[in-house]
């Protein structure tokens, strides 16, 4: 019986976290085989092009970049396929467009 209660609590927490995270996603860009698409939200196409250019320079062919609202500003989150060395360049480009 106590395992059922624990399972229900874990599922409820997971659902709450997913709902919270989904509410904070502002936009996302997916890159597949080098071609990009803004799949959620709206940002300037110049920002999309510059972010994708950074990915191309670093040889990333498949990735997703997320814009997430945190503390009143939009910050970036990345799929695992984006190497750490590339992420700072993406943040630099975003800082120019996030104003």
Q: What is the pLDDT of residue 99?
A: 65
Looking at the domain assignment, is residue 58 inside a domain? yes
Please name every residue paired with 38 in a beta bridge, in sequence order, or none if there are none: 29
Q: What is the pLDDT of residue 18?
A: 65
Looking at the domain assignment, is residue 72 inside a domain? yes
Looking at the domain assignment, is residue 4 inside a domain? no
10-residue mean pLDDT profile of the chain (99 residues): values are: 82 72 79 86 90 92 91 89 93 87
Q: What residue numbers bound the domain in which 79 lies?
A: 25-97
Give me the long-range contacts of 46-53 (CB less than 8 A, separation at least 24): 46/97, 47/93, 47/94, 47/97, 50/93, 50/96, 50/97, 51/90, 51/93, 51/94
Q: What is the pLDDT of residue 73?
A: 87
The total domain count for the chain is 1
Looking at the domain assignment, is residue 10 inside a domain? no
pTM for the model: 0.73
Q: What is the pLDDT of residue 79?
A: 92
């Amino acid at each position: 019986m106590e395992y059922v209660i624990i399972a229900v609590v874990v599922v409820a927490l997971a659902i709450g976290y997913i709902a919270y995270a989904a509410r904070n996603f502002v936009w996302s860009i997916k890159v597949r085989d080098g071609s990009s698409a803004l799949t959620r939200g709206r940002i300037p196409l110049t920002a999309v092009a510059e972010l994708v250019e950074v990915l191309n320079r670093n040889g990333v062919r498949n990735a997703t970049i997320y814009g997430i609202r945190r503390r009143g500003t939009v910050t970036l989150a990345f799929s695992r396929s984006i190497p750490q060395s590339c992420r700072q360049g993406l943040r630099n480009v975003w800082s120019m467009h996030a104003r």
